């Protein structure tokens, strides 16, 4: 009976070692990205792809072709949410390629930051028209001064 318990414990230990040993939770989200392969501060290659999943420690992405393990890569990931419902965002991730399986690269994240993208011409025109329209309706005092702080 005692040997059954020991065997059961060994099986549990082996199963836990063989399973997913990542410490960070992974999120399966497909987002478009641009990648740059970097070595000694020089861009060796670049392309487009999609994320497969990511966590706070790394990103798995499809680069469209195999990339060399050990080199640094920078990803510019198109973020699906606008800043203040107006400005498009990118998540910029820098890291090292730690694994390559077919066209999928796993990188260990060294640094990340959000950056805003410039607004398109259509967005700038719409924002300008909205600003002109809203300022035309600000109340004015009897001497023509504006009560609003934006005029």
* Residues across the chain: 151
pLDDT of 12 higher than 70: no
Residues 6+ apart with CB under 8 A from 25: 55
Architecture of the domain whose range is 21-123: Beta Barrel (2.40)
13-70 pLDDT tens trace: 544 555 555 567 898 999 999 999 999 989 999 999 999 999 989 999 999 999 999 9
- Whole-prediction pTM value? 0.64
- For residue 35, the tally of other CB atoms under 10 A from its CB is 24
Tokens 């001064």 belong to 145
68-125 pLDDT tens trace: 999 999 999 999 999 998 999 999 999 999 999 999 999 999 999 999 987 655 666 6
The torsion angle over the Cα atoms of residues 15, 30, 48 and 21, rounded to 10 degrees, is: -20
Six-digit token string for 26: 């992974």
Q: What phi and psi values does residue 62 have, to the nearest 5 degrees?
A: -100, 115
Q: Which helix (H) or strand (E) holds 34?
A: strand 32-39
Rg (CA), the chain: 25
Name the H helices within the chain. Answer: 2-18, 121-136
């Amino acid at each position: 009976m005692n040997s059954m318990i020991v065997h059961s414990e060994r099986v549990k230990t082996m199963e836990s070692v063989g399973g997913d040993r990542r410490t960070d939770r992974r999120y399966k989200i497909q987002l478009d990205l641009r990648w740059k392969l970097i070595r000694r501060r020089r861009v060796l290659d670049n392309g487009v792809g999609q994320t497969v999943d990511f966590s706070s420690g790394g990103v798995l992405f499809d680069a469209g072709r195999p990339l060399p393990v050990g080199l640094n890569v920078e990803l510019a990931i198109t973020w699906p949410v606008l800043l203040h419902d107006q400005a498009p965002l990118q998540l910029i991730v820098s890291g090292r390629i730690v694994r390559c399986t077919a066209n999928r690269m796993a990188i260990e994240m060294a640094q990340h930051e959000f950056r805003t993208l410039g607004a398109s011409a259509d967005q700038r025109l719409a924002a300008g028209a909205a600003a002109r329209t809203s300022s035309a309706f600000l109340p004015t005092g009897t001497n023509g001064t504006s009560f609003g702080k934006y005029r």
